[in-house]
């Protein structure tokens, strides 16, 4: 998973793109001469500072159980799951102290999309906002409709609830989705405007709606044609609005 920031600027506006799970291809709107002329104008960024919290892979401690099942998982994917809650708590403490205005969380919020892990993440993000920062999230390929959401207990691996796209947006309504100016009907992508002249374009290129591969949720990413058209429309509107 990766994050990129693309500034598309007109006279008095900026668009910041935050996305996970996919690489952004050449945009179709670049072929439009009038839009190219608008984008050629000098950028005018507002005075704002960003911090990024990427790939926390939080596992709700209530899902952890010592034994053969969790040890088998860790042999295949050696994340600091046992420590993930403490690590996140320390990261939240550091972010609260940083001189940042906006905190971007570009996906893989949870180990494997467990609903309880998402709820715990939302609780931790509220602590950041209580310190005066604004938080914006987007899902990663571990976060939605994950077939590997489990609780571990000895030798047992017990399925637990993951979240649907709609539930993800509901849980994180305070962190982008509730403030969205526009949402992509085909994905969890959205655009928000935390400050005048600055729009955040959060892009979801994950494949959670596709069939599993060998029983596992797809880990790659790409944008659908519908989402690409939506992105073009958002960027074109920002360029025209100036």
Domain spans, the chain = 14-241
- H or E stretch covering 51: strand 50-52
Distance between CA atoms of residues 145 and 118, nearest Å: 12
Return the number of other C-beta atoms located less than 10 Å from residue 34's C-beta.
Answer: 11
pLDDT at 109: 97
Distance between CA atoms of residues 1 and 96, nearest Å: 25
pLDDT score of 9 more than 60: no
Provide the token pair at 4. 């990129």
pLDDT at 78: 79
Average pLDDT over residues 94-103: 96
pLDDT at 215: 67
Average pLDDT over residues 136-165: 95
Helix (H, G, I), strand (E, B) or coil at 24: coil
Most confident of 13-17, 191-195, 215-219: 191-195
pLDDT at 139: 96
> How far does Cα 78 stand from its chain's mean position?
22
Backbone angles phi, psi at 57, to 5 degrees: 45, 50
User: What pLDDT digit, counting tens, does each position of 161-187 carry?
Assistant: 999 999 999 999 999 999 999 999 999
Tell me the helices (H) and strands (E) count for the chain, helix number first.
6, 9
pLDDT score of 34 more than 90: no
pLDDT score of 37 more than 80: no
Q: How far are the Cα atoms of 78, 110, 144, 191, 193 from residue 181, in angstroms, in the given order?
A: 39, 26, 22, 6, 7
Q: What does the DSSP 8-state code read for residue 155?
A: T
Fold of 14-241: Purple Acid Phosphatase; chain A, domain 2 (3.60.21)
CA-based nearest residue to 208, from 96, 73, 112: 112
Using CA atoms of 165, 171, 175, 176 in order, give the dihedral in degrees to the nearest 10.
30
């Amino acid at each position: 998973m990766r994050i990129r920031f693309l500034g598309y600027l007109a006279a008095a506006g900026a668009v910041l793109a935050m996305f996970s799970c996919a690489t952004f291809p050449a945009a179709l709107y670049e072929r439009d001469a009038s839009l190219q002329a608008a984008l050629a104008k000098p950028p005018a960024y507002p005075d704002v500072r960003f911090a990024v919290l990427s790939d926390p892979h939080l596992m709700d401690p209530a899902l952890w159980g010592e034994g053969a099942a969790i040890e088998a998982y860790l042999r295949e994917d050696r994340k600091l799951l046992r420590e993930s809650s403490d690590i996140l708590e320390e990261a939240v403490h550091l972010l609260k102290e940083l001189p940042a205005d906006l905190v971007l969380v570009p996906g893989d919020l949870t180990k494997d999309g467990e609903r309880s892990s998402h709820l715990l993440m939302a609780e931790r993000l509220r602590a950041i906002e209580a310190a005066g920062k604004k938080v914006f999230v987007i899902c990663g390929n571990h976060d939605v409709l994950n077939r590997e959401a489990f609780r571990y207990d000895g030798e047992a691996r017990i399925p637990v609830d993951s979240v649907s796209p709609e539930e993800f947006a509901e849980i994180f309504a305070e962190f982008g989705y509730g403030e969205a100016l526009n949402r992509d009907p085909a994905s969890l992508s959205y655009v928000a405007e935390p400050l005048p002249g600055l729009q955040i374009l959060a892009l979801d290129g994950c494949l959670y709606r596709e069939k599993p591969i060998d029983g596992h949720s797809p880990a790659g990413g790409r944008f659908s044609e519908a989402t690409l058209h939506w992105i073009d429309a958002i960027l074109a509107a920002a360029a025209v609005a100036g």
